[in-house]
Structure 1
Amino acid sequence: MATVEYDADVIVVGAGPGGSTTAYHLARNGLRVLLLEKTEFPREKVCGDGLTPRAVKQLVKLGVDTSPEAGWLHNRGLRVIGGGMRLELDWPELASFPNYGLVRTRLDFDDLLAKQAVGAGAELRTGVNVVGPVLDDSGRAVGVNAESGPGKEPVTFRAPLIVAGDGVSGRLPLALGLAKREDRPIGVAVRRYYQSPAKTNDNYLESWLELRSRDSGDKLLPGYGWIFGMGDGRVNVGLGVLNSSSAFGKTNYRRMLTDWLANTPPEWGMTDETNAEGPILGAALPMGFNRVPHYTRGVLLVGDSGGMVNPFNGEGIAYAMESGELAAEVIVQALARAEGADRERALAGYPAELKARYGGYYRLGGIFVKLIGNPQIMRIATKHGMPHPTLMRFVLKLLANLTDPRDGDAMDRVINAMTKVAPAV
């Protein structure tokens, strides 16, 4: 039997937060890592640019300097607007997570993470578009076929294991027959940058539970909105709509964004088109494990490729990075074993651990998505929940998935118990 010449121990497809985090932890453990990215850095990505303490924890693990001096805007918590009320909720004080969030544009955020991976020893190749897997006679992926550079030259890379961090499109898992599950929640989000000195330096991420249109007689619009100050004179403004809403797929989301912003104070600068920077861009939010299995035939899925966006709040970066760290941990152990059944046993631990960590929580998130998709239920919940700060602090912990697993307070114990008894997705 001929010996296969491998280009790396692991090929990671996609240098987003999930892929770069995976590559970093693999390289730190001494493995040869080839990180392939189809674009060139820096590159634009559609995102709210807000990071909760879950994501901050992952950045600290990567050795990233998150100080203001390093270009990060810190925030204390979440400002919730709805039901005629405005409530500021600080991030909880926990042993498991820091008590601050961050804001940074994706234009250089992904570039920064990719550089951390390279600094740890990974080899990054940009301008390499992976078009599909290389399969052996048993149907197992043993490499990838790609197009490299402006001339789209065909190139093949080989490795015993591959990580798909190729985002919402999931081109690599699709080539393996892993289609998106239609029974899982999905959202769509649009966002735009505006020059807004009045809102740019904000200590809180701002979430709007009710969106109203001035053009339609103060009509209540579907979905939820956000305004995140960037600290550089700009704000990131956007909205999301879930597939549980009757408006999903039937609405001009870009028009809806401008309708909502027409109701904001003129001094914020978001009603003036001359303050806008760039077009309104949109992206899908794949939630609640909407592509499974997360390991099959030599390929592990991380982040959006595996539908790991939190259904409660649309957060994807933290879960991409967490799944990347877990995938690396499993791969390191698997490659220390002989090829065959023993190695596969270790790799099977990856989807099992993902299910144990997030399965029950995502199940609850799916129920939550169905409930808030009904405007009447959302209106009642906002009206009766917002006046109760203690209840809203509980909701913040639940929506942001911020609890201490042990020795937490009463809220933590209730949330942890709920996620344990909920059947995993």
Structure 2
Amino acid sequence: MNPSRPATASSAAAAPVNLRPAVLVVGGGPAGATAAHDLAREGLSVLLLDRAGRIKPCGGAVPPRLIRDFEIPDHLIVAKARAARMISPVGRQVDIPIEGGYVGMVDREVFDEWLRDRAAQAGAQRLNGHFERLEREPDGSARVICRDAQGETFVVHPRHIVGADGARSQIALQAVPKAEGGRFVFAYHEVLKRPQPEPAGYDGSRCDVYYRGSLSPDFYGWVFPHGDTLSVGSGSADKGWSLRASVGRLREAAGLEGCELLRREGAPIPLKPLPRWDNGRDVVLAGDAAGVVAPASGEGIYYAMLGGRLAAEAVSRAIVHADGRQLAYARKAFMRDHRKVFWILGIMQRFWYVSDKRRERFVSICADRDVQQLTFESYMNKALVRARPMAHVRIFFKDLAHLLGLIRA
């Protein structure tokens, strides 16, 4: 193959790919596809490099703010969850209704491809391949070595790079200071065909979350509806923990052991944002590559798409001002609005997820009406709720009573 004319994602006979784009976006998940879409819509030449066929294990939950902010059409919402059920180690069930709305559920295989196609319709060029390494020309400009779907090497010379290549990002490790040493939860799920008839206790409009040490020593298990399918999964930072075995136990506990298995997926998920997202020159990170998955909940789609949008804004600023230091805008803007949420969720995970005794108390706290309302208002709108200070005071004292053992779980 002529390295100046690599095949595009759609056809080897398509128009030549621009190997000197203004921006190379590596990774076509929600973060990369959003960044590529926003940059292309501004009129910049964008090359979106993505390895076809990769699907991240994900419950697929998208809050109303994501649907609104990123203009997601209703046909991509395969189910609408109107309640969540928290299940304790001893089997106590706490149902939390989602009043006045719903949490959308998406099929990542369909959803991610729609996002990539939208980027292409905005003008981004797509290429099926993967990043190998970043080199520098004598003048300091980027020289990106890539490999296409046929295994042949080609070189891209972008002015800027958006690294959206997932957890353990190679772009981050090669280009961004302090990117090594990140901590991860390893997630695994099985996509099952929706059972017919539905087993007792299953509800296609409810997300079930299991807090049990037998399913995860430091995270949780989930059963999330996806319309004609469902996602059953678990995660753990313990490398020796058998996630496949724990998902098998979860399927049995949920009465889903007889469901048809459609596919299995597994991947690392970062636990906290990286201390830097850019190199101060021409590289900025987004999504899992930047570490933006919420602790405790594992939610990542909204934060990935927001990170992709902020990365695009940072690149635009860097181009307008001819100053690579503008790339730091992405992290500054993200942390300004979400630092406290990530900090609180991190404390929750480190404290409540360490033993079944504490998990039992955590589920008990979730039965509190104040906790339910503030939690879902914050989740749906992606901001800490400050409108009802007395509710926060009540929650604080109830939480303290649980910590001191003054309230029975």
Scaled by the length of structure 2, the TM-score of the pair is 0.81
Alignment check: 8 A CA contact 1:288 1:308 kept? yes
- For 2:230, give the aligned amino acid: V
Distance 2:316 2:307 in 1: 14
Distance 1:401 1:186, change over 3 A: farther
Task: Describe the superposition over 1:388-424 as per-residue Cα deviations: whole angstroms up to 9, x where unpaired.
Answer: 23223334445x3745578x63169959xx9xxxxxx
Distance 1:322 1:396, change over 3 A: same
2:285 pairs with 1:301? yes
| Structure 2 runs not aligned, ≥5 long | 1-17, 397-409
1:347 Cα deviation after fit? 2.3
Alignment check: 8 A CA contact 1:223 1:240 kept? yes
Task: Describe the superposition over 1:136-160 as per-residue Cα deviations: whole angstroms up to 9, x where unpaired.
Answer: 447x56241101231x221111121
1:212 Cα deviation after fit? 5.4
Task: Describe the superposition over 1:337-389 as per-residue Cα deviations: whole angstroms up to 9, x where unpaired.
Answer: 2x3xxx23422322222232223322222222210232155334235314423
Alignment check: 8 A CA contact 1:194 1:275 kept? yes
Alignment check: 8 A CA contact 1:58 1:321 kept? no
Distance 1:32 1:256 in 2: 46
Q: Which residue of 1 is the match for residue 368 of structure 2? A: 388
SS of structure 1 residue aligned to 2:73: coil
Q: What is the root-mean-square deviation of aligned Cα atoms in Å?
A: 3.0
1:133 Cα deviation after fit? 1.5
Distance 1:413 1:222, change over 3 A: closer
SS of structure 2 residue aligned to 1:79: strand
- For 1:410, give the aligned amino acid: R
Alignment check: 8 A CA contact 2:192 2:231 kept? yes
Alignment check: 8 A CA contact 1:92 1:397 kept? no
Distance 1:414 1:159, change over 3 A: farther
Q: Which residue of 2 is the match for residue 423 of structure 1? A: none
1:325 Cα deviation after fit? 0.8
1:105 Cα deviation after fit? 1.7
Distance 1:14 1:86 in 2: 39
| Structure 1 runs not aligned, ≥5 long | 94-98, 214-219, 419-425
Distance 1:103 1:259 in 2: 24
2:40 pairs with 1:39? no
- For 1:385, give the aligned amino acid: I
Alignment check: 8 A CA contact 1:308 1:319 kept? yes
Q: Which residue of 1 is the match for residue 268 of structure 2? A: 284
1:228 Cα deviation after fit? 1.2
Task: Describe the superposition over 1:215-246 as per-residue Cα deviations: whole angstroms up to 9, x where unpaired.
Answer: xxxxx9663111111211x21111122x3xxx
Task: Describe the superposition over 1:263-308 as per-residue Cα deviations: whole angstroms up to 9, x where unpaired.
Answer: 233xxxx222x62223x4322110211x341011310000001111
Q: Which residue of 2 is the match for residue 264 of structure 1? A: 254
Task: Describe the superposition over 1:41-62 as per-residue Cα deviations: whole angstroms up to 9, x where unpaired.
Answer: xx533222222334323431xx
Distance 1:31 1:412, change over 3 A: farther
SS of structure 1 residue aligned to 2:254: coil
Length, aligned pairs only:
371
Distance 1:103 1:351 in 2: 27
1:206 Cα deviation after fit? 2.0
2:344 pairs with 1:364? yes
- For 1:409, give the aligned amino acid: A
Scaled by the length of structure 1, the TM-score of the pair is 0.78
Distance 1:193 1:388, change over 3 A: same
Distance 1:362 1:137, change over 3 A: farther
